[in-house]
Chain A
Amino acid sequence: MSELKTIDARNTFCPGPLMELITYMKQANVGDTLELLSTDEGSAGDVPEWINKVGHDLISNEKIDGVWHVKVRKAK
């Protein structure tokens, strides 16, 4: 059964939001949905780009009160 896991990468410079997401994606099962929270403006660009390049499913990507919420489903 798939589950939603939240990765709180707000207010961190290293290892950074995308590196955190890659770490947790490796641990997740196919079908799991992960939500990445990030305050790094760069995340708005390189996180969706990475998701698209690897072939996972970007469910949503929105900024709420200064925090990027990126939801992604592990596709493979």
Chain B
Amino acid sequence: MRILIVGGGTGGTIVANNLARRLAGEIRSRKVRITMLSASDRHMYQPGLLYVAFGQMMPDELYRKQKSLLEACIDFHVDPVEEFHLDQQNVKTVSGKTYGYDVLVIATGSRIVPKEIPGLAEGAETFYSEASAVKMFKALRAFEGGKIAIVVGVPHKCPIAPVELVFALDDYFKARGIRDKVQIKYHYPIGRIHTIENVAKWAKPAFEKMGIEYETLFNVKEVDVKKNVVISEEGTETSYDMLIAIPPHRGMEAIENNGLGQGGWIPTNRYQLTMDGYDDVYVLGDTTNLPVSKTGSAAHFQAEVVSENISSKIKIGEPVREYDGKVYCFIETGRDSATYAMFDYVNPPDLKEPNKPMHWFKTSYNKMYWASVRGLL
């Protein structure tokens, strides 16, 4: 039995390690072989990028060697997949090798596409890559006052990030003693300030207390970098001295190029996490087209379901679990407090008042992630 995992992010890594333990006996007796193909020999803790943008983490803290995170029995190659031949049960990589499989797991993630919005890449700061997060920190540090506009592309990874960004900016400029010289205006694509109704209800009075202006139903159409103006699809405009964008995302090019899913998002069964039409192909994390948050947390919970079901199908011939839509998101509310949103397909989140212990938990989790991705938590 050949299990091939394409993608070495949060979801793929947890699936690989979880399977390596569940199928240890089968691997020892050479009945099962696990192979992972990834685009990088490094693994990034992506939630750390927001801390980098505020000088609270250094970029080198975000990485570990991918090989060091994997169980020794996992055959790991830095060789991204270029072609998927699902009907022949094989993939072809950039190096020209062909890998056959009996079970395929696709966890290739997503990528930012700021260039889809004219002017955005040139005109906006962001924190969705190491280089842009460092650049944003330097821009914030040099900012002495004026109007900061926040805009949000669709779709985007980590839906809580826009809210965390607001709290972080408020705290950052307070700490520098120039909060009164900084005007912050938040723009959001739908008709309330966050897509989760309970988060919007909780954040609205907090925004008002911090003096955050906001405009809803604002989808960025283009950025006029000469005039420092953002123009929305809805016909409104906002001027800025500094623009910070949550960039729009797409799935990976190989997914689109092989016709696996429009936008790079693969049609996926929301409970079994199998690709529509292919019982031997599992999809998880950002790669799915599911109406579920694109976050490491969703990928983590999905990875547990995928690995448990692949394992049980090998051992007893049947899957044993369904994904219930579970997501758990920390919400940092500045430098020393946090809360969280936990929800699934049926139950909405019930937000608690931000507090210090939750922030300490998040700070701890920033380190615990490395145990989590090894499949130990």
B234 touches A54 (CB 8 A): yes
Give the number of residues in A that approach B within 8 Å (Cβ atoms).
24
User: Is A22 in the interface zone, CB < 8 Å from B?
Assistant: yes
Contact of A14 with B292 in the complex, beta carbons under 8 Å? yes
A46 partner, pick from B190, B196, B262, beta carbons under 8 A = B190
Distance, CA A13 to CA B192, complexed state (A): 13
Q: Which of A46-65 contact B (CB under 8 A)?
A: 46, 49-50, 53-54
Known contacts A23-B154, A54-B233; is-contact A18 B190 (Cβ 8 Å): yes
Q: How many Å lie between the Cα of A27 and that of B197 in the bound state?
A: 26
**Is B197 in contact with A42, judged by CB distance below 8 angstroms?**
yes
Interface locus among B46-54, B341-349, B361-369? B341-349
Residue from B191, B294, B345 within 8 A of A12 (CB atoms): B345
Interface residues on B, range: 20 to 34
Contacts of B325 in A (CB 8 A): 11-12
**CB of A34, distance to nearest CB on chain B (Å):** 12
Q: Mark A14-52, 1 if CB is under 8 A from B, else 0.
A: 111111101100110000000000001010011001100
In the complex, what distance in Å separates the CA atom of A67 from the CA atom of B325? 19
- Looking at the assembled complex, report how far the CB atom of A42 sits from the nearest CB atom of chain B, in whole angstroms: 6
CA distance A18 to B233 in the complex (A): 15
CB within 8 Å: A-B pair count: 75
Which residues of B, 263-294, contact A by the 8 Å Cβ criterion? 263, 291-294
Residues of A within 8 A of B114 (CB): none
What is the bound-complex CA distance between A54 and B220, given in angstroms? 12
In the bound complex, what is the Cα–Cα distance between A11 and B367 (angstroms)?
Answer: 33
Known A-B contacts A9-B291, A11-B346; the reply to A23 vs B197 at CB < 8 A is no
Say whether B189 contacts A22, CB under 8 Å.
Answer: yes
Which A residues are in CB contact (< 8 Å) with B38? Answer: none
A50 and B195 contact, CB distance less than 8 A: no
Are A15 and B346 interface neighbours, CB within 8 A? no
Are A15 and B159 in touch, CB under 8 angstroms? yes
The one of A11, A20, A45, A46 that contacts B345, using a Cβ cutoff of 8 Å: A11
**Least CB separation from B197: chain A residue:** A42
Report the Cα distance A19→B216, complex, angstroms.
Answer: 12
Chain B residues whose CB sits within 8 angstroms of the CB of A18 once the complex forms: 189-191, 195
> Which of A8, A18, A19, A46 has its CB near the most chain B CB atoms (within 10 A)?
A19
Question: What is the chain B residue whose CB lies nearest that of A18?
Answer: B190
A16 contacts B191, C-beta separation under 8 Å: no
Q: Are the C-beta atoms of A46 and B349 separated by less than 8 Å?
A: no
The reply to whether B263 and A27 form a contact with Cβ atoms under 8 Å apart is yes
Q: Given A11-B345, A27-B263, 20 other A-B contacts at CB below 8 A? A: A12-B345, A13-B197, A13-B348, A13-B349, A14-B159, A14-B195, A15-B155, A15-B159, A16-B190, A18-B191, A18-B195, A19-B155, A22-B219, A23-B155, A27-B262, A42-B192, A42-B197, A50-B191, A53-B234, A54-B219
Q: List 9 A-B contacts (CB under 8 A).
A: A15-B155, A15-B195, A16-B195, A22-B154, A22-B190, A42-B197, A49-B191, A53-B217, A54-B234
